[in-house]
Structure 1
């Protein structure tokens, strides 16, 4: 532990003498090795939340189209969470990471603009279970994975990448999965750096300009599965350039400045949000504002108008589509989200899946960019909502949404969210095992509660 801490400090002191990938690898290993009880507890919260999203995602329409394309094998010994079938481990990770993000309900690091849970947790838990790891090893792997993907995204500008067509989660997700896998496999600093280098060789992931489509979510699964492969490749001795995030990536991604938004002290997992609503993150503060106005007595009625101001970066993917083509577009629609609020179903993933009618309401919704919110972004993904309702008027600006690090969901609220996604009781032992995974001796036993059979060696 002390050696890794010295390695990280030496790497930071050396500055330009080490590559970006080397620095990220050192930081990730150090975060995992030095994680205290607070960080390990945070890892458990993110494992619970992400796996709840995976189970819920198994019933998403995308899953019905995806699974026939994922070849099963009769001699495989691995099941995907909440799905009947047998695949190899890499395919399971790809499936679960895709499903984790498909409802837009998984964790998000706002300043980095990445969804780390989807690309890290399924890889850490599945590989950890296969390797006979303890729950604490999985928790430390999750911390390392979050550190890698978030640090890389911060280094390249986070949401600034939206303007050049890049999606940070797809760009750097494989690095998170690779770092988590490296911890499970017990790789040293040099091998972990090589694992991240392999992960970076296929760097890419464009943000759609017209419709997100299923392809947007498939990128999560591909990134996560490649990260697992990358760690195995490094373990097998395969080499790769460790300077890919220096000259080559800078040339490809453009001169985006590093994000210096304030984050919580300690590992990046502590500054990562857990979502309170299953829709695009920029709309969360808008929903919070509507809730606060409603609590003060302002009632939306037929003919009301709702104006939503957002940071301009949010408008790269948030729309005002009243007739979305699919649940994918529904989750990014302000009209659908406001209609869900009116129907009392904004927390329900099923609302956004019922996208044929979801955006149709008697309320007019407008969205626009606000330079004042731009000045606070990406530290705050805020929103200002103005409501005109039958002569009544209300305006509310919200900068911190429920689930953000400065406004965290309680363990009880998190268990309730997971229970709703899994259609079970918040007191279910399996949920508490995930929440407190660092105290569990056997990761495979914890994971087996959510699969159709127990993996065997």
Structure 2
């Protein structure tokens, strides 16, 4: 497997030839990521990106790279976007869709957009696998590094490039994409800069900017796909195995590591009335112990310093669930970060690093065991497959409700929101453009 194989895959993919399941998952990815993008226009991160656009623009036009930057920042602002655990834990959709919409020229069809999404996911997830984060030592490559490569291939394919041009785009993105590392607040996994780098790489390749040579010089591989590890079947199966099918969709706007704990608490609370004839409520809960994989006990920001810290806080997310009955992007806005009821509920949460909490399989993410103590009783539950995972997928109705709520947060009414995901790429880009130049809409 080398980058040329990836390029030929991207150049030859035809929407009509894709399996029905892959087409359906691409539709879900479009709707879900679009909803995350819309909600993210309310974030302080997007407000800063919009101000950066104003500083950068010489006139009224916004460059494709800056559009991609801002829209990707919005799509990832509340950590509500999809991801792939085995593929390096990356969040592909929030980079790829903004990059594609930013480079729409007006004639592309919706099928063109969806096909390019599939290209981006399949390439990015394989790059993420090869660049898998190793936090304990060595370089820490997370979403931005891998998704820039996938999005560059997607954009070049979307614009009708040949395999040679797509190959150059992959090599340029591999060289110029961000060396992403998780930093709070706002920087996160450099998803915004990755989208901008992808657009730039694809356009440079289209303009004839040279990619890496066919044979690497100085003993350095020009892309992750030109390494010995790329022979692994996870990578070499492109066009045969469809990794987009294993992406997870998040029901809650917080770090994936928190989802099993939220699922366990939600399940325990819902079971109480049937078990003991009495439903537990937040006021009755004395304390909650959450057993997590070692290292995750550090995710205990309370009170959170920012909306981004809140997204990576077990106590804050659990406090939202107990105090509000839900965890929604709106709970990350403004004064709600210091909601006394949320903070009081979160203060009852204790994280316990347990070496016994380990994934049962490579794609099972971050399991957790939760013990809820309430009304003189205790109940413990371990969750391995959080809602939205491959083994516990969200229903079509649940994904629809998530999209509707995110669109409503952006100010779109029901009918307008309902029609948007079915529009042409040009219409989608036109609908999102006003957010780039509107006044500051954030309340965080």
Q: Is the TM value for this pair above 0.5?
A: yes
Give the secondary-structure state (helix, strand or coil) at the position aligned to 2:344: coil
Is residue 367 from structure 1 mapped to residue 346 from structure 2 by the alignment? no
1:171 alignment counterpart: 145
1:22 alignment counterpart: 4
Q: TM-score, normalised by structure 2?
A: 0.82
1:215 to 167, 170, 187: 187
1:397 to 375, 382, 387: 382
The answer to whether the 8 A contact 1:25-1:148 is kept is no
CA distance change for structure 1 residues 374 and 165 in 2, over 3 Å: closer, same or farther? farther
Give the secondary-structure state (helix, strand or coil) at the position aligned to 1:277: coil
Q: How many residues align?
A: 413
Q: 1:402 offset after TM fit, Å?
A: 1.6
CA distance change for structure 1 residues 292 and 345 in 2, over 3 Å: closer, same or farther? closer
1:197 to 171, 183, 188: 171
Q: Distance in 2 between matches of 1:348 and 1:394?
A: 26
1:119 alignment counterpart: 95
2:121 to 121, 143, 146: 146
Q: Distance in 2 between matches of 1:415 and 1:93?
A: 25
2:438 alignment counterpart: none
CA distance change for structure 1 residues 37 and 448 in 2, over 3 Å: closer, same or farther? farther
The answer to whether the 8 A contact 1:26-1:189 is kept is yes
**1:292-311 to 2 correspondences below 5 Å:** 292-297=267-272, 299=280, 300-301=282-283, 304-311=286-293
Question: RMSD between aligned alpha carbons?
Answer: 3.4
Q: Distance in 1 between matches of 2:230 and 2:381?
A: 32
Q: Which moved more, 1:288-297 or 1:63-72?
A: 63-72
1:81 alignment counterpart: none
The answer to whether the 8 A contact 1:63-1:99 is kept is yes
Deviations 1:260-286 (A, max 9, x none): 699997422111111100000111111
**1:47-62 to 2 correspondences below 5 Å:** 47-62=30-45
The answer to whether the 8 A contact 2:95-2:148 is kept is yes
Structure 1 unpaired stretches of 5+: 1-11, 13-18, 78-86
CA distance change for structure 1 residues 188 and 309 in 2, over 3 Å: closer, same or farther? farther
Give the secondary-structure state (helix, strand or coil) at the position aligned to 2:343: coil
CA distance change for structure 1 residues 429 and 69 in 2, over 3 Å: closer, same or farther? closer
1:231 to 202, 206, 210: 202
Q: TM-score, normalised by structure 1?
A: 0.80
Q: Distance in 1 between matches of 2:284 and 2:393?
A: 34
Q: 1:388 offset after TM fit, Å?
A: 2.1
Give the secondary-structure state (helix, strand or coil) at the position aligned to 1:114: coil
Q: 1:27 offset after TM fit, Å?
A: 4.3
CA distance change for structure 1 residues 291 and 91 in 2, over 3 Å: closer, same or farther? same
1:274 alignment counterpart: 249
Deviations 1:375-420 (A, max 9, x none): 4364112221122224211111111122222222222222221111
Q: 1:446 offset after TM fit, Å?
A: 3.7
The answer to whether the 8 A contact 1:387-1:394 is kept is yes
The answer to whether the 8 A contact 1:32-1:144 is kept is no
2:154 alignment counterpart: 180
1:409 alignment counterpart: 394
